[in-house]
């Protein structure tokens, strides 16, 4: 598998870092680098990249404007888009999801995780690639929407760790029965951290949601009352609950 990418980044230092990192990888080709929306539009027409790494904040415009331009090009094979920003505001992430962005990452970027996300989009054996063949929203978009609905802020580490944990359980439901020995270590390996930090960050994310008092929104997602303000789930219960709902949506 060989994936061509276009880097759209006005920060020359970050653009070079991304280019240097992926230039050493045989599975990913850097088709080009653009520093603004106009350059990017022309390079997309010329190079037809498989994927675009796109910063939200761009000089004279923004990443969302480029997405609009791409949609108007009516390409037979539009590029997959991974967007990132130093601002992990809920509204920005929600807008990105609604506009079809496949992944949203918050700076500083973890290059290895970024590489994994790119390859997942084009790996026919990946459960994420399979999900994206459905006409409905992608798995990450669904998880992100649930998090935003119940008040888990995107800028905290627990948001990313919890989303990854749900993705893993979605693909491997039985792993929830070994959350400490398998699930936390698996997520920790992805983000180059420790299982204990993953556990604490996920716990914090759940507690933030309960503190914000949006439990009725979670109950609304399922159509009946599951939790009250004082009935806080364990990490495993919460992960299993969301993963089970997503699995049911897939088979419905």
State whether 200 and 225 are in the same domain. yes
Rounded Cα distance between 165 and 236, Å, is 10
Rounded Cα distance between 66 and 72, Å, is 10
State whether 168 and 107 are in the same domain. no
Q: Is the pTM of this model over 0.85?
A: no
Rounded Cα distance between 86 and 84, Å, is 7
Domain span at residue 191 reads 140-251
Those residues with Cβ within 8 angstroms of residue 231's Cβ, 6 or more apart along the chain or in another chain: none
pLDDT tens sequence across 198-213: 999 999 998 888 877 5
Domain count, the chain: 2
Higher pLDDT, 125 or 151: 151
| CATH number where 102 lies | 3.40.50.2300
State whether 15 and 76 are in the same domain. yes
pLDDT tens sequence across 1-53: 689 999 999 999 999 999 999 988 888 999 999 999 999 999 999 999 999 99
Cα→Cα distances 155→128, 137, 150, 205, 230, Å: 23, 22, 15, 10, 25
Answer yes or no: is 132 within a domain.
no
Please, which pLDDT band fits residue 133 given cuts at 50, 70 and 90?
very low
Do the Cβ atoms of 22 and 52 come closer than 8 Å?
A: no
State whether 167 and 70 are in the same domain. no
Answer yes or no: is 129 within a domain.
no
- The highest-confidence range among 62-76, 99-113, 227-241, by mean pLDDT, is 62-76
Answer yes or no: is 134 within a domain.
no
Nearest of 183, 153, 164, 57 to residue 116 by alpha carbon: 164
Which residues is 18 bridged to in the sheet? Answer: none
State whether 61 and 167 are in the same domain. no
State whether 47 and 105 are in the same domain. yes
Answer yes or no: is 33 within a domain.
yes
Question: Which pLDDT value is given to residue 95?
Answer: 82
pLDDT tens sequence across 176-235: 999 999 999 999 988 889 999 999 999 999 888 887 756 666 666 555 455 565 677 889
């Amino acid at each position: 598998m060989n994936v061509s990418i276009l880097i759209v980044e006005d920060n020359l230092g970050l653009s070079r870092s991304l280019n240097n990192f992926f230039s050493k990888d045989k599975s990913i080709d850097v088709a080009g680098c653009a520093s603004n929306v106009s350059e990017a539009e022309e390079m997309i027409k010329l190079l037809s990249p498989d994927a675009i790494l796109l910063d939200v904040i761009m000089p004279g415009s923004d990443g969302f404007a480029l997405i609009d331009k791409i949609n108007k090009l009516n390409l037979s094979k539009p590029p997959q888009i991974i967007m990132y920003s130093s601002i992990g505001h809920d509204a920005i992430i929600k807008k990105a999801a609604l506009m079809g962005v496949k992944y949203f990452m918050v700076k500083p970027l973890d290059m290895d995780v970024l590489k994994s996300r790119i390859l997942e989009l084009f790996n026919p054996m990946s459960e994420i690639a399979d999900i994206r063949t459905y006409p409905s929203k992608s798995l990450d978009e669904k998880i992100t929407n649930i998090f935003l609905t119940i008040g888990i802020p995107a800028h905290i580490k627990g948001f990313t760790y919890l989303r990854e944990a749900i993705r893993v359980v979605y693909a491997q439901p039985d792993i929830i029965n070994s959350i400490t020995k398998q699930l936390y270590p698996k997520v920790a390996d992805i983000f180059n951290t420790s299982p204990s930090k993953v556990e604490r960050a996920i716990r914090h994310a759940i507690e933030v949601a309960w503190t914000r008092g949006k439990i009725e929104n979670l109950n609304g997602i399922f159509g009946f009352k599951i939790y009250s303000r004082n009935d806080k789930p364990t990490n495993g219960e919460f992960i299993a609950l969301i993963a089970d709902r997503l699995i049911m949506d897939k088979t419905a």
